Structure 1
Amino acid sequence: MTTFSMQLYSARNAPPLADRLRELAELGYTDVECFRGLYDDVPALKAELEANGLTARSGHFSVDLLENEFDRSLEIARMLGNEILVLPYVVPDQRPKDAAGWRDFGARIGAIARRIKGEGLRASWHNHDFELREVEGGGRPLEYILDADSAIEWEADLAWVVRGGEDPAAWLERYSGRVSALHVKDIAEAETRTDEDGWADVGDGTLDWSSLWARGRAAGADLMIAEHDNPSDFSRFARRTIDAFGRFEKGN
C-alpha cells in the first residue's frame, strides 16, 4: 500500500498550518512529513494531525539535534508516530572537503542510525545535489553516507539527484532494498518558473515520474512524499500533485 504524503516545508509560506492540514486531508493525502521548524509545540501539532486524520510516518531531524538531543528527538518522533527519522541536510560550513572527511561523516551518520534502529525505529538520509558531486580524493558524498552502514536507509530526492548531474534510475537500482521513501518533486523547463526557483508541480516538469515512481516502488519505497521548495501557490501545487500521484500509482 502506497502512502501519499506531503513534506510540510512546502507549506511554510502558506500559513496557517491548520488550514493547510485540513486542505491536504480533503485532497486525499493521508500523511505528512514534519520538519524541525514545527517542533516547538509537538502536542498541538499532534492534535492538529489527529483532527484531520493524518499520520506522520516520517519526520526530519537535524544531525546536531540527533547527536546532542537524542532523547528529545526520540520523544518527538514517538509522539508524532514517526516510523522513520530522516537526517535531511548538512549546512555548507559543516560539510567535509574531501573523501576522508565524508567517510568520517558517514561513520557519524551510521552511529546515529544504529542508535535509532536500536530503539525500534528507522533512520534515513535525505539528499540534495551536493552529495552527488565528486569530491577531492574521489567518490561522492552520498556513497560515503549510504555505504557507511546498512542501518542507513535513503529518502531519495530524485529531482536533486538530477540537479546533481546524475541518473536517478541508476541510483535507485544501486540502493534497491534500502529506499525508505521518495521525495517526489519536479524540475521546470530551463529558464522557466524562475519565481519558483525552477521547480515545477509534480507531473508538469521534466522528470519522467511515471517511470521513476515504478522504479522507486521496486526499490522499496512505499512512502511517496510530495515536495516543492518554493511554490507560488501551495494549494495549486498540492492539488495538481495528488492528481499526478493517482496517475502514477495506476501506472499512467
Structure 2
Amino acid sequence: MKNKLVTLMCACLPFVSQAALGHQENSVVPKISVQLWSVKDDIKSSFKQTISSLANMGFQGVEFAESFGPFENNPEGLKAFLKAKNLAASGAHLGFEQLNKQNFADTVAFYKAAGVSMLIVPWDERAWHPEGVKEVVSLLNDLSVQLKPHGMRIGFHNHDQEFNSFEGTTYWDYIAENTSQDVVLQQDVGWTTYAGKDPVEYVKRYPGRTLTTHYKVKLPEGTKGKLPIIGKDTIDWLALTKANIAVGGTLWIVVEQEEYPNGLTPMEAVQQSKRGLEKVLKQL
C-alpha cells in the first residue's frame, strides 16, 4: 500500500519477550482484522455501513488508513462505535510526518482516545536508499522510546523494495537488525513473496517482532492458474500462521485486499479472502 487493537500494554510484554528469547510456542490464535485501505472507496462513501458490513463478516478488528468518516475529530466516538460493533482497532497506518515534533502530541492523543496502540508507517522511500534507510532506523528507534510511556508502539511495513540487496543483506534485514525489539515489523506477506522471499523465514528470523502481519496476496510475475485471494494463491498460509503463533508473537492477522479479480467488488474480494483464511485456521 503506497498511499497514505487490542491495547498492547505491559501485559503483552512478557509474551513478546518470551517469544523473542525462548522461542516457546504460544497456543493463542491471533485475532483477525482488516486493513481499511482494502475497501477505501466504500469507506469514503459510507464509513459506518462499511464498518458494519465488515463486522458482519466476522472480523474482530480494523486497521485504519487515515480515514475516519464522521469521526475525523471524534476519536472517543470512533472507539465507542467500534465497540458497539464488537470490533477493536488493531492498529493504524500513518506517515512519519504525523509523529514529528509539531504533530506528535495531537496524533498520540487522537489514537490513544480511539483505542489504537500500534502505529505503523506503511511507506517511506528512504527505506530502500543507502543513506535514507539509516534515517528511517533512527526515526523508528526515537519514536519507540517516545511512544512507550503512552503504551503505544511504532512499526514499519514492507513492500518489495525493502528486500533489495544492501550491505550483504537486504534493507528489510538492516531495518530489523538496527531497530529496537519494541519496533513492530509488520510483514506484508504479499510483497515478501512477490520479492521472492520466504515469509515464514522472516517471521522466524526476528522472533517476537511480527505483532501484526498483513495477509495479502501479490502473485509473483508469471504465475498461472492462481488468484490474488487467500487460499487461491501460492502461499503456504498454514505454515506461516503456525510460525506467527509459535515465534512471531503475532496478536493480529490483518487481511488486506488490493486486487479484485473476476469482477469482484472490494467487499466481495475481502470476504473471499477471509473465508480462505478461515479454512486455514481450522487446520491449526
- What TM-score, normalized to structure 2? 0.77
- For 1:97 and 1:151, locate their aligned partners in 2 and report how far apart those are by CA, in whole Å: 23
- For 1:133 and 1:116, locate their aligned partners in 2 and report how far apart those are by CA, in whole Å: 29
* Cα shift at 1:217: 1.7
Q: C-alpha offsets along residues 150-176 of structure 1, whole Å, 9 cap, x if unaligned? A: 221211111111122222121111011
* Cα shift at 1:111: 0.6
Identical amino acids, percent of aligned pairs: 23
* Cα shift at 1:207: 1.2
Counterpart amino acid of residue 94 in structure 2: F
Counterpart amino acid of residue 276 in structure 2: A
Q: Which runs of 5+ in 2 are unaligned?
A: 1-27
> Partner residue of 1:117?
148
> Partner residue of 1:167?
198
Counterpart amino acid of residue 78 in structure 1: K
Which deviates the most, 24-33 or 59-68? 59-68
> Partner residue of 2:94?
61
Counterpart amino acid of residue 247 in structure 1: K
Which deviates the most, 27-36 or 76-85? 76-85
How large is the RMSD of aligned CA atoms in angstroms? 2.4
Runs of 4+ residues deviating >6 angstroms: none
- For 2:212 and 2:120, locate their aligned partners in 1 and report how far apart those are by CA, in whole Å: 10
Gap change, CA 1:139 and 1:101, over 3 Å in 2: farther
* Cα shift at 1:230: 3.6
> Partner residue of 2:237?
209
> Partner residue of 2:256?
227
CA contact (8 A) 2:191 2:218 kept: no
Matches within 5 A, 1:34-183: 34-38=64-68, 40-43=72-75, 45-68=78-101, 69-90=103-124, 92=125, 94=126, 97-98=129-130, 100-135=131-166, 137-148=167-178, 149-183=180-214
CA contact (8 A) 1:21 1:48 kept: no
Give secondary structure in 2 for the equivalent of 1:37. coil
CA contact (8 A) 2:128 2:162 kept: no
Counterpart amino acid of residue 148 in structure 2: K
* Cα shift at 1:95: 5.1
CA contact (8 A) 2:117 2:152 kept: yes
Q: Which runs of 5+ in 1 are unaligned?
A: none
Counterpart amino acid of residue 65 in structure 1: Q
Give secondary structure in 2 for the equivalent of 1:85. strand
Q: C-alpha offsets along residues 130-160 of structure 1, whole Å, 9 cap, x if unaligned? A: 111114x443221222222222121111111
* Cα shift at 1:188: 4.0
* Cα shift at 1:180: 0.7
- Highest relative contact order (Cα 8 Å, sep 6+), 1 or 2? 2
- For 1:47 and 1:133, locate their aligned partners in 2 and report how far apart those are by CA, in whole Å: 42
- For 2:171 and 2:41, locate their aligned partners in 1 and report how far apart those are by CA, in whole Å: 31
- What TM-score, normalized to structure 1? 0.86
Counterpart amino acid of residue 127 in structure 1: N
